[in-house]
Amino acid sequence: MATNNNEFRIPLEGVESEHCALIVDNGLAKLNGVESHRVELNNKEAIIETQNRETVSEAVKTIRDLGYGVTTVKKSFPVLQMTCASCAISVESMLKSQAGVVNASVNYANAKVSVEFIPSLIQVEHLRKVVQSIGYDLLIDESPSGDETIEHIQKENFKTLKKKTYWALILSIPVVVIGMFFMNMPFANEIMWFLSTPVLFWLGRDFYINAWKQAKHRSANMDTLVALSTGVAYIFSVFNTLFPEFWHERGLHAHVYFEAASVIIGFILLGKLLEEKAKGNTSSAIKKLMGLQPKTVTIVQDGGYQMEIPIEQVEIGNTIVVKPGEQIAVDGIVINGNSFVDESMLSGEPVPVLKNENDKVFAGTINQKGSFQFKADKVGSETMLAHIIKMVQDAQGSKAPVQKLVDKIAGIFVPIVIVIAVASFIVWNIFGGDNGFTQGLLALITVLVIACPCALGLATPTAIMVGVGKGAEKGILIKDAESLELAKKVNAVILDKTGTITEGKPVVTNDFWTEETPILKQILFSIEKQSEHPLADAVVSHLKNQNTVSITQFESITGKGAKAEIDGITYFIGNKRLIQENEILIENAVAQKANQWGNEAKTVIWFANTKKNNSHISNS
């Protein structure tokens, strides 16, 4: 830890000799703002003294550029109370200015901040206090239920926003009707005043509260624009309602703009509602990935006793039972039994993979017909599924190169808009003649209002979030926002997965029998009915509605097929190798047909008995 307020200790990695320490020390000497520096080899620390806290992150970058490491932690936290892209810039810049924060990136679209920091210099709670000091908050619940808490907050916020939006629109409609068509009716101004007041100061009060928070910290965001535009329009209209003679004495009509103020609040609330709904739909991709993991698992305790426990309680080394049709909960190694497992969510291959003893299984994959036991070797955030989910979340929160420009614009957007609005008002007052003040006021309100949605600052992060989310939904993992941006240059796509451009489910396309009888079809149907092989399902579907026959001594032959005995005759079904090993004669016509289908990239299944070759069936 720091010994004084200006001294910072940076933990080093890979600095193993005096020569390495000298390289790091010389690198730090070149940094502006570093008053003193030294490298303690025994403690694996670089110690710098500086008045500028941001110099610490520059020192970390310098050390890494020299080929050495710095011990840091990367964490992602939901940011609460952000209302626009400018808010994201404020939170990000505030975090970056803290000593010990190496990098911070806020994505307004998914309302999360990714922070890399040195834990010996700054703690998570301090990060939260820093964000709270500028009117926002961090949700730092890192327990397994943290995601559920976030989801609950988002759902409640969406419900509240929905109610506010509907009421704002309901109250604004009569204000607009009166203001446009019945402005000369008795007490028109007073009625509009009565209806618009709750829209601004009850349904739209968050805009004014947030604008005040920003003003206290000498900052401005989209709420500032909304509050200024609607507030000015409302106050001007109230003045004209109470003191119309002020304008009448000057030969002007006392216009009111209650409808403009209330409609602006209603429309912006509607925009926020649609935005939140889009975010909720996009996050469904993450929810689907998370849904691949069961909530509970069955473990085998000492003595063979089975017990069901929550997935959070699974530990490395536990023996877990997987029954037919169940999803595998964590990564592990098969120790007993075998089965076919659908790993399409990982590999893209639609045909299930046979898992025997010592084979690896992964969380999120689906067991087929068999049952087996496996020993957990990766749990929680270490499973492959967890890494995939984290990769998608990181990609959604990442920033494309074009967003660097967007962030710069968003950072100065609000002040520039306010300056332009004030300039418009002044110009109209100088050159606008008798109606200069009124027209200038309208120009000021218009400039503030049209800038409110901040399309540029919102569109880019939202597009990234939607793009990555839709990709995950379709089974395409996009590494980061930069990859998504570069995708526009793609002119050729190479696919190496069977299920990518096909249906991904085997079906029988042709069959060829040397002796086609109902009883043989029934025998074939009955044997495949007992088989657990994925191709067997295709044969069963092809021979549907067949009667079953009694089978004895059914045996699955790994890597080849299966055999069974019926009325003293042994029947084989599987690949050509199984037929040849049992010395069954293959007729020329059958061999030719099999070669033809093989050349068409179809999988050939052979069916024969110990008396003579009966038939073969092709699947693709």
Q: Is 496 a catalytic residue?
A: yes
Average pLDDT over residues 27-54: 86
Q: Which of 298-302, 358-362, 586-590, 613-617 has the highest mean pLDDT?
A: 358-362
Q: How is residue 327 annotated by DSSP?
A: B
Sheet holding 101-107, edge to edge: 101-107, 112-117, 73-80, 137-138
Q: How far apart are CA 460 and CA 442, in angstroms?
A: 31
Q: Which of 367-371, 390-394, 603-607 has the highest mean pLDDT?
A: 603-607
pLDDT computed for residue 333 by the predictor = 93
Q: How is residue 332 annotated by DSSP?
A: E
Q: Does domain 508-619 have CATH number 1.10.10.10?
A: no
Which region among 169-173, 258-262, 513-517 has the lowest average model confidence (pLDDT)?
513-517
Pick the closest to residue 320 from 367, 288, 382, 353 (CA basis): 367
- Fold adopted by 290-391: 2.70.150
pLDDT confidence bin for 312, thresholds 50/70/90: confident
pLDDT computed for residue 168 by the predictor = 92
List, for residues 242-271, the tens digit of each pLDDT value: 888 877 776 667 778 888 889 888 888 887
CB 329 within 8 A of CB 399: no
Q: Does domain 7-70 have CATH number 3.30.70.100?
A: yes
pLDDT computed for residue 613 by the predictor = 47
Identify the residue whose tokens are 């709420």: 223
Q: What is the dihedral angle through the alpha carbons of 495, 500, 505, 508, rounded to the nearest 10 degrees?
A: -40
Count of other CB atoms within 10 angstroms of residue 213: 17
Catalytic-role residue among 65, 302, 407, 496: 496
DSSP3 helix / strand / coil % (the chain, rounded to 5):
50, 20, 30
Q: How far apart are CA 609 and CA 564, in angstroms?
A: 10
pTM to 2 decimal places: 0.58
Pick the closest to residue 565 from 611, 619, 533 (CA basis): 611
Structure tokens at 343: 């790993």
222 pLDDT above the threshold of 60: yes
Average pLDDT over residues 200-204: 91
pLDDT computed for residue 406 by the predictor = 63
pLDDT computed for residue 458 by the predictor = 56
Between 221 and 126, the higher pLDDT residue: 126
Domain segments of the chain as ranges? 7-70, 73-142, 150-285+397-464, 290-391, 508-619
Kindly provide the b/e burial profile for residues 531-550, where b requires at least 16 CB atoms within 10 angstroms of the residue's own CB: bbbbbbbbbbebbeebeeee
Q: How far apart are CA 288 and CA 392, in angstroms?
A: 12
The answer to whether domain 7-70 and domain 73-142 are alike in fold is yes
Identify the residue whose tokens are 């009111």: 256
What's domain 73-142's architecture?
2-Layer Sandwich (3.30)
Count CA atoms within 13 Å of residue 75 on its CB side: 21
